[in-house]
Amino acid sequence: MGTVPECFGSKVFDDRDMRAMLSREVYQSLRQTIDEGKELDISVANAVAEAMKEWAVERGATHFTHWFQPLTGITAEKHDSFISPSPDGGVIMEFSGKELIKGEPDASSFPSGGLRATFEARGYTAWDPTSYAFIKGHTLCIPTAFCSYGGQALDKKTPLLRSMEALNKQALRILRLFGNTEAKRVVSSVGPEQEYFLVTKEMYEQRPDLRFCGRTLFGAKPPKGQELDDHYFGVIKPGVEAFMEDLNEELWELGILAKTEHNEVAPAQHELAPIYSTVNVACDQNQLTMEIMQKVAARHGFVCLLHEKPFDGVNGSGKHNNWSISTDSGQNLLSPGETPYENAQFLLFLCAVIKAVDDYQDLLRLSVATAGNDHRLGANEAPPAVVSMFLGEELDAVLEAIETGKPYKGTEKKQMKLGVDVLPKFNRDTTDRNRTSPFAFTGNKFEFRMLGSSNSIACANIMLNTAVAESLRTYADRLELAHDFEETLHAMIRKTIADHRRIIFNGNGYDDAWIEEATQQRGLLNLRTTADAMPKLLDEKNVRMLTRHKVMSKDEIASRCDIMLENYCKSVTIEANTMVRMARKHIMPAIESYTGSLAAAASAKKSVVPDLPCGYESSLIVKLSQLLDEINAKADELEAAVAGLADVDGIVAEAEVIRDEVLPRMDALRAPVDEAEVKVEKGFWPFPSYGDLLFSVK
Ligand code: ADP
Ligand code: MG
Q: Is the pLDDT of residue 118 over 60?
A: no
Q: Residue 607 contacts by C-beta under 8 Å, 6 or more apart in sequence?
A: none
Report the nearest atom of ligand 1 relative to the CA of 335: 23
How far is C-alpha 111 from the geometric centre of its chain's CA atoms? 19
Domains and CATH numbers, the chain: 4-155 (3.10.20.70), 165-192+329-551 (no CATH), 194-218+226-317 (3.30.590.10), 567-695 (1.20.120.1560)
Q: How far is CA 656 from CA 229, 529, 570, in A?
A: 37, 10, 13
Q: How far is the CA of 441 from the centre of ligand 1 (A)?
A: 11
Mean pLDDT across 214-237: 83
- Tens digits of residue pLDDT in 313-341: 999 999 999 999 999 999 999 998 777 67
Q: Is the pLDDT of residue 430 over 70?
A: no
Residue nearest (by alpha carbon) to ligand 1 atom 3: 432
Q: What is the DSSP letter of 520?
A: I
Q: Residue 611 has what pLDDT?
A: 92
Mean pLDDT estimate for the chain: 92
Mean pLDDT across 51-63: 96
Report the nearest atom of ligand 1 relative to the CA of 432: 3
498 vs 112, residue with greater confidence: 498
Percent of the chain with pLDDT over 90: 76
| Ligand 1 touching residue 260 (CB < 6 A) | yes
Q: How far is the CA of 389 from the centre of ligand 2 (A)?
A: 15
Report the nearest atom of ligand 1 relative to the CA of 271: 7
- Tens digits of residue pLDDT in 242-283: 999 999 999 999 999 998 888 887 889 999 999 999 999 999
- Tens digits of residue pLDDT in 600-618: 999 999 999 999 999 999 9
Q: Is the pLDDT of residue 549 over 70?
A: yes
Q: Is the pLDDT of residue 546 over 80?
A: yes
Our mutation pick for probing the ligand 1 site, out of 269, 276, 281, counting the most ligand atoms within 8 A of Cβ, is 276
Q: What is the DSSP letter of 660?
A: I
Q: Is the pLDDT of residue 20 over 90?
A: yes
430 vs 347, residue with greater confidence: 347
Mean pLDDT across 364-383: 92
Q: Residue 422 has what pLDDT?
A: 53
Alpha helices for 37-133 (secondary structure H): 42-58, 97-101
How far is C-alpha 164 from the geometric centre of its chain's CA atoms? 18
Counting ligands in written order, which one lies closest to the CA of residue 444? 1
Q: Is the pLDDT of residue 108 over 60?
A: yes
Question: Is 104 within 8 Å of 123 (Cβ atoms)?
Answer: yes
Task: Please state, in angstroms and rounded to a whole number, the distance separating the CA atoms of residues 199 and 263.
Answer: 14
- Tens digits of residue pLDDT in 176-206: 999 999 999 999 999 999 999 999 999 999 9
Q: Residue 117 has what pLDDT?
A: 57
Q: How far is the CA of 447 from the centre of ligand 2 (A)?
A: 7
- Phi and psi for 167 in degrees, rounded to 5? -65, -40
Task: Tell me the residues surrounding ligand 2 (ion) with CB < 5 Å.
Answer: 320
Q: Is the pLDDT of residue 105 over 90?
A: no
pLDDT confidence of 393, banded at 50, 70, 90?
confident
Q: Residue 484 has what pLDDT?
A: 92
Q: How far is the CA of 284 from the centre of ligand 1 (A)?
A: 17
Q: Are strands 63-67 and 79-81 parallel, antiparallel or unpaired?
A: antiparallel
Report the nearest atom of ligand 1 relative to the CA of 257: 16
| Ligand 1 touching residue 189 (CB < 6 A) | yes
